[in-house]
Amino acid sequence: MTDVRAPETDPFDAAAERDDQPRPGPSSPGAAFGLADWLKWLWRQLTSMRIALILLFLLALASVPGSMLPQQGGNPAGVQQYYTSHPALAPWLNRLGLFNVFAAPWFAAIYLLLFASLVGCVVPRTFRLAGSARTLPPRAPRNLARLPRSAEYTTALPPREAVEVAARVLSGRGFRLRRPDDEDWVSAEKGYLREAGNLLFHLALLGVLVSVALGGLFGYKADRLLVQGQGFADTVSALDEWHPGRFVTAADLGPFTIKLNRFDASYVASGQQRGQPSAFDARVTYTEQPGGPARTFDLDVNRPLSVDGAKVYLIGHGYAPQFTVTDGRGHVVYSQATPFVAGASGNFLSEGVVKVPDAQPEQLGFTGVFVPTAVNVGGTLESVFPAADNPVVSLIAYAGNLGEDSGPSQSVYQLDTTAMHRLTTSPQVLAPGQSLKLPDGRGRITFTGYVPWVSLAITHDPGQLPALICGIAALGGLLLSFTIRRRRIFVRARTGPSPGRGTTVQVGGLARTDASGGFEAEFAGLAAELKSAHEQAAPAPSAPPTQRAESAPPAQSAESAPPAQPAESAPPTQPAPPTKPAQQQPAEHRHEGE
Amino acid sequence: MVVLAAAVLAGVLLIVVLATGWAGSGNTGVTTIDGNAGAVLYTAGHRPLAPEFTGTTLTGSTLSFSSYRGKVVVLNFWGSWCVPCREEASILAAVAAKYQSSGVSFLGVDVRDTTAGALAFAHSFHVTYPSVSDQSSAITLDFTAKVPIAATPTTLVVDRTGHIAGAVFGAVTYPELTAILAKVA
Amino acid sequence: MPVNVALGHVSNAFLIAALVIYSLSVVAFAGDFAFGRPRRAAEAARGQQAQDHAAALAPVGAASAAGGPAPAGPGVPATPGPATTGGEPADGAGSMPELEVPALRAIREAGRWVVAAVALAAVGAAAHTTAVITRGLAVHRAPWGNMYEFVTALTCVAAIFFLFALIRYRAWTLGVFVMGAVVVTLGLAETLIYTAPGDLVPALQSYWLDIHVTAMTLATGIFFVSAVLGFVYLWVDRYTRRVAAGRAAPGNGIVRRLPGIEQLDRLTYRTIVFGFPVWTFGVIAGAIWADQAWGRYWGWDPVETWAFITWVLYAAFLHARATAGWRGRRAHYVQLLGFVSLIFNILVVQVFIAGMHSYAGVG
């Protein structure tokens, strides 16, 4: 039967759906409503299906702003952008927690309530399932024709044997039986695993939540940018970003070192997909602890490196043009590859900053644009391909106070020019090897070349594997609960349709839940199987009794000569049956004869 | 049912509280200076052994830390890119000058830096003591196993037996550094 | 490996062919409404409706309206008349539940229009599948790497799934709606978002792509069918209520031919029951892929968030069906809301809202 039926009338576990309706609350008349009663009422409300449904809607609704507005966790630059473009609205959104929805307390309240409701519903049902698995199926109803599925046929077996045969068939099919000693019916039930699957699914969801919490408390995330040729040791001061979980300390980092030997990226050169990346490859050398053996690994976008319990992922890449700055005193005060970051315009047009705080007589700063494949389009430089086929750099020079001698740390990608004056009137374009001579004898900057850089993410999440296991368990529980149906089959046998004319066997069945359908087919198959089992157990000539009555009586009485009495009590499988119809025939025959 | 659930919940909460308290239990043997958690002294007997290292100085020569055994060493982790390092540079230079005759040596560990930038820094701030290059933070990693170095700059004070006796996490101040040296030197 | 342009053309050709053949099948399904055998379907449907109604209302032991003649029977609007199989006693006491009439026979008995429509739909589905497969061979990867390929693949899944449901549940009267929706969707895809065969960006070259997007494609195709069925349900439900309120004339020709409201509801439910585990698996596979590629298995990326919202809404539908006051119409609103969120995810979130998922390759 479908789920559409009202639960109160469901013969299966009527108690299971009790919490469907909210219980009468404190406004109902009666005895005084104490605190305990209030709590009980609240609890019943919380664990009702209706509230669960509302909480599910709330969960979905609450997630929407988390996808529409920039979020602090994944897009902090976007949040900053939002503040700039919506200066009045942004602080209010922030107060409501809308820039960090999934860590906001109100979001947590929704899913915590939902899980409380889940636990409050699932735990009692688990006990109930354990209980019902031990109790016997109920008595067979009187009139099986009223069940959603029923069948009726006659057999020549007496009622008791008919029920025996039916019991054996059902038992062979895995049903749990209930058979009284003195009555001719059997109840059979099957499909407890369905509820077990349902409970497994819901508990596994709880497990996923716990695993996520585990990861958040005991895991960490870190970032590091590496220029080709550079290496780093896994310690907090060497990381660009460090986000430990609540219970994580710096000592939890594994003592590995990684060096980026080489990075190659290739791009599609022609066709509709021109400019799309076709392959990345970062060749690294790593050691698991200081002094340990050095190993090489090809880090790829879908292939992280597992080391010391952490995983190292290749997240992004870019260009780091190399500059050498000679100051006014003739000293080389800067000589390194400077990571530039690709902007939104595409094809790896990148921006960056060179800061030279120890140049004499004045500190120097440069803002630059690196163009991998430069083409002059109407006066502006554009990059038409992401590979560095024609690299140039365009620089604007400043001198003055960088603002780095005191105060808070600055971003290495931004130049604060408030205390600086511009040295060049317009951006100067340099090809590799070219220099820009600074005015007033302040020195010069040379663009010597470029190397690639990669950004790595180092993460550790102890909840990752448990979450996966719980996810798979949830899926398993879901499949179980959808494919298995809890159903009951009843078989009643009584003499009839009129006394002396065989036994009428009634079969009835109902399914409590039938998500995937198929109970009709199962019932039809079972009824047919029962019928054929009865026919096989009945005497070989399965012609209807009326036909037998017409055949020659002497033949019958000859057959009736062999043991008549024992035949009646013999189990149906014995070859005794042939005598039974003979036993009955004469009675019927006589009956009809009268 | 409600009572049972409440009891279970209370029990779980109790376990969680106890577990976190145990996990976050403090350690003895460390005293702070002037109540500032960023500047600490390790009492004798609780001083971690400083790891040995060998590196290349900014001028290109090889330097081995073991050669400093028997002297008090102020080990300063710094970088030319680091803003607080620029703030503390003059303080370090002043303290270095003051304690020069007392047998206190100063040694820098130049982290994530380039030779050109580091030399320019040293020139700007008249840093006379040598620095070892630690481009890959390997030396820092070894020390982080002993003391919780979380950022740059960090300054450690190593006693004559080669054990770490004091630490300043962050830019040093004159009072803090002199207080540590007074106890250790 | 370079794209096999010739196979790409073959794929396009098969897709156009499928589109045309599907359109013809829609015409045939509609023709069945207009010219097909009216009475049989209506009678059987009504009989089935009465049965479902009785079964739904009658608890065990209570008096039942359908108590007299044995109500046993499969949910099949098959040939009317006494349902018998061989081997029953001639005295006719009781009856056996009918083992189902074989599907092909049932279709044949439903009339020429239905035969033509089902045949055309099947041929169209075969052409559609060929188009998808050849596209995959042309680009040397699973053929659902951009929006266009995704839509062609999911409509293929929807068509095949509907054909199976049609055969199993004898639901050809729903053909005009489901196949019609497939035609419209496929047509829009061809005209608006067609993308020539090409390679994927490296971020996507992983076998987990195949697993994750395959599962999502399958699930979306299945939910496509349940969404169409949901619309049909709401339409029939609204019509029934208007008739009951006296604001519409009874005996609408189309509604009469459709399966009863209970069976529509059941069919929709079973479709979603099929699709929900697939969607769940797709989300899990996506989390595994995200962990490999981006270093975390869940980061509330906009596409991830909307996949989660879709999952929650379909879960709400399943819960609504077990909650008094939420069965029937309201549950189907929920289910359709879930499908809307799914479409929103594909069309708006993936394309316009920046995130790590934006590889849709549109435009």
DSSP C236-277: HHHHHHHHHTTSS-S--HHHHHSPPHHHHHHHHHHHHHHHHH
Residue of A276, A501, A515 with shortest CB distance to C270: A515
Domain map (residue ranges) of chain B? 28-184
Instruction: Give the per-residue pLDDT at A499.
Output: 67
Q: Is the pLDDT of residue A342 over 70?
A: yes
Instruction: Give the per-residue pLDDT at B28.
Output: 64
Q: Please indicate whether, in this complex, the C-beta atoms of B81 and A412 are within 8 angstroms of each other.
A: yes
Q: B48 and chain A: CB distance < 8 Å anywhere?
A: no
Q: How far apart are the first and last CA of chain B?
A: 67
Instruction: Lowest mean pLDDT of A111-120, A136-145, A230-239, C49-58, name the range.
Output: C49-58
Q: Is the pLDDT of residue A411 over 60?
A: yes
Whole-number Cα distances in Å, C110 to C13, C43, C83:
33, 13, 17
Residue A435, number of CB atoms within 10 A of its CB:
17
Of C203, C241, C244, nearest to C359 (Cα)? C203
Q: Please indicate whether, in this complex, the C-beta atoms of A410 and B123 are within 8 angstroms of each other.
A: no
Q: A236 and chain B: CB distance < 8 Å anywhere?
A: yes
pLDDT digits (tens, 9 = 90+) for A277-327: 878 889 999 999 888 999 999 998 878 999 998 999 998 899 999 999 999
Q: How large is the average pLDDT for residues A263-274?
A: 82
Instruction: Give the per-residue pLDDT at A6.
Output: 32
Q: Please indicate whether, in this complex, the C-beta atoms of A231 and B152 are within 8 angstroms of each other.
A: no
In DSSP terms, which residues pair with A376 in a beta bridge?
A381
**What ipTM does this complex have?**
0.82
Which amino acid is residue A47, in one-letter code? Answer: T
Angle between helices A192-218 and A105-134 in degrees, nearest 10: 150
Instruction: Lowest mean pLDDT of A455-469, B134-148, C103-117, C210-224, name the range.
Output: C103-117
C300, C336, C351, C353, best to mutate vs chain A, most A CBs in 10 Å: C300
Chain A: nearest CA to C23, how far in angstroms?
31
Instruction: Give the per-residue pLDDT at C328.
Output: 87
Q: A238 and chain B: CB distance < 8 Å anywhere?
A: yes
Q: What are the φ/ψ torsions at residue A7 (nearest 5 degrees)? A: -65, -30
Q: Is the pLDDT of residue C118 over 80?
A: yes
Instruction: Give the per-residue pLDDT at B21.
Output: 54
Q: B56 and chain A: CB distance < 8 Å anywhere?
A: no
Q: Is the pLDDT of residue C351 over 80?
A: no
Cα A449 to Cα A320: distance, rounded to the nearest angstrom = 9
Domain map (residue ranges) of chain C? 5-40+103-196+203-352
Q: When comparing pLDDT for C310 and A577, which is higher?
A: C310
C205, C268, C305, C353, best to mutate vs chain A, most A CBs in 10 Å: C305
Q: Is the pLDDT of residue B89 over 70?
A: yes
Residue A434, number of CB atoms within 10 A of its CB:
14
How many CA atoms lie within 13 Å of A163's alpha carbon, on the beta-carbon side?
Answer: 21
Q: How large is the average pLDDT for residues B137-160?
A: 92
Q: A499 and chain C: CB distance < 8 Å anywhere?
A: no
Instruction: Give the per-residue pLDDT at C52.
Output: 53
Residues 61-120 of B with CB under 8 A from A: 77, 80-84, 86-87, 111-112, 114-117, 119-120
Cα A169 to Cα A179: distance, rounded to the nearest angstrom = 14
pLDDT digits (tens, 9 = 90+) for C303-323: 999 999 999 999 999 999 888
Structure tokens belonging to residue A165: 């045969």
Number of Cβ pairs closer than 8 Å across A and C?
A: 240
- pLDDT grade for A549, boundaries at 50, 70 and 90: very low
- pLDDT grade for B26, boundaries at 50, 70 and 90: low
Q: How large is the average pLDDT for residues A168-185?
A: 90
pLDDT digits (tens, 9 = 90+) for A178-229: 988 888 899 999 988 888 999 999 999 999 999 999 998 999 999 999 999 9
Identify whether the C-beta of residue B48 lies closer than 8 Å to the C-beta of residue B55: no
Residue C207, number of CB atoms within 10 A of its CB:
10
Cα C239 to Cα C247: distance, rounded to the nearest angstrom = 9
Instruction: Lowest mean pLDDT of C10-14, C34-38, C221-225, name the range.
Output: C34-38
Q: When comparing pLDDT for C146 and B105, which is higher?
A: B105
Residue B12, number of CB atoms within 10 A of its CB:
10
How many CA atoms lie within 13 Å of A541's alpha carbon, on the beta-carbon side?
Answer: 15
Q: Is the pLDDT of residue A24 over 80?
A: no
Pairing state between β A341-342 and B104-111? unpaired
Q: Is the pLDDT of residue A2 over 70?
A: no
Identify whether the C-beta of residue A235 lies closer than 8 Å to the C-beta of residue B136: no
Instruction: Give the per-residue pLDDT at C251.
Output: 74
Instruction: Give the per-residue pLDDT at C1.
Output: 65
Of A161, A279, A202, A268, nearest to A569 (Cα)? A161
pLDDT digits (tens, 9 = 90+) for C67-97: 333 333 333 333 333 333 333 333 334 567 6
pLDDT digits (tens, 9 = 90+) for C10-21: 999 999 999 999
Q: Is the pLDDT of residue A551 over 50?
A: no
In CATH terms, the superfamily for domain A144-191+485-549+569-593 is: Alpha-D-phosphohexomutase, C-terminal domain (3.30.310.50)
Of A254, A257, A252, nearest to A293 (Cα)? A257
Structure tokens belonging to residue A550: 């017409």
Residues 25-64 of A with CB under 8 A from B: 36, 39-40, 43
Please state, for a pLDDT cut of 70, what percent of chain C lies above it: 78
**What is the pLDDT of chain C when averaged over all its residues?**
80
Please state, for a pLDDT cut of 90, what percent of chain A lies above it: 42
Contacts of A506 in chain C (CB under 8 A): 94
Which amino acid is residue A501, in one-letter code? Answer: R
CATH no., domain B28-184: 3.40.30.10
Cα B178 to Cα B91: distance, rounded to the nearest angstrom = 10
**What is the pLDDT of chain A when averaged over all its residues?**
83
A1, A3, A4, A498, best to mutate vs chain C, most C CBs in 10 Å: A4
Residue of A301, A510, A524 with shortest CB distance to C99: A524
Q: How large is the average pLDDT for residues C282-300?
A: 89
Q: Please indicate whether, in this complex, the C-beta atoms of A230 and B135 are within 8 angstroms of each other.
A: yes
Structure tokens belonging to residue A580: 């039974």
Q: How large is the average pLDDT for residues B30-56?
A: 86
Instruction: Lowest mean pLDDT of A121-130, A580-589, C237-246, name the range.
Output: A580-589
- pLDDT grade for C33, boundaries at 50, 70 and 90: confident
In DSSP terms, which residues pair with B40 in a beta bridge?
B32, B167
